[in-house]
A and B are shown apart, each in its own frame.
Chain A
Amino acid sequence: MGYLKKILNNCKEVSLLTLKSKEEQLSLQQKFELKFHKYFCKCCKNFEKQSAQIDKSMKAFFNSPPLKASDNFKEKLKQKLK
């Protein structure tokens, strides 16, 4: 009972593991704990969804450069590349 209670409540560990699971293999036990927890926990499910949304918008963010370097700096670069 203690074990189930622990994995039902440990949002911090579960959400961290969720991120890790996108890149790395988890152990069978970890996989089970994630599934079990997320079945009952809307918050962690939501965190997972938002994490994917953040990834998507971060990629778009850097694709159209969010900042502009100053014209002075660009001019200086052009002088150096001669």
Chain B
Amino acid sequence: MQENTLNYNKWVDNYTDYLYSFAFYKVGKKEEAEDIVQETFLSAFKARETYNGKASEKTWLMAILKNKIIDYYRKPKVIKSFSSYLDDTEDSFENVFFDKDNHGRWTEQIAENYFSKAADGYLLSKEFQKFLSICLLKMPVKLRSIFISKYIEDDIAENICKEHNITPSNYWVMIFRSKTLLRNCLEKKGVVD
């Protein structure tokens, strides 16, 4: 019994930050992210007999976390009208990044940039990762929520659409907007800081 308790303590020590980071960037609120992580651990604890060691503990816990996030988006109080978000912000997005008077080309000359010249090592450096974190936090939470789903165990469009009840075409618009905002923010960091 003693030994088992130690094992579960280890789960908490080893994986809480990892699970919490995803949950926080996904839902944007500390309390809600904590609830999701807590429910993940409780479900894992209840189902501990079924863990067969085939996947790593981390992967197993991430799969449970993903289900908890799906449950979260099913709750009625969570605003999930992704498509009305897109409609409401369409014009402002277009006006900033695309030039209507010039056939819809990029407004800015984005061909010469600081981070496209960067070596891979720099993209993984502390400095760049810090910029990334600042820029992610600046993104509208609805957009970020969909965007980071892609990076949770390399998820594919089909699953993400189902889980969040969005159409594939809205999904691609959101990924496109996310990357447009993110690259714009990252460029400014590199130039200004």
Contacts and interface: CB of A to CB of B under 8 A. Distances in A.
Interface of A: 5-6, 8-13, 15-16, 19-20, 23-24, 42-47, 49-51, 53-62, 65-69, 73-74, 76-78, 80-82
Classify the interface of chain B: helix, strand, loop or mixed.
helix
A43 B110 contact: yes
Nearest 9 A/B pairs, CB to CB: A9-B103, A42-B111, A65-B17, A81-B8, A69-B20, A57-B123, A16-B176, A65-B21, A67-B21
Contact of B9 (A55, A59, A81): A81
B21 A19 contact: no
Contacts, number: 144
A43 B111 contact: yes
Nearest to A16: B176
**Interface size bracket, B side:** 35 or more
A62 B123 contact: no
Nearest to B177: A16
Nearest to A9: B103
Nearest to B157: A23
Contacts of B21: 62, 65-67
Contacts of B183: 47, 50-51, 54
Interface centre among A51, A56, A66 (most CB of B within 10 A): A66
9 contacts: A12-B98, A50-B113, A50-B116, A59-B151, A62-B21, A68-B17, A73-B20, A80-B38, A81-B41
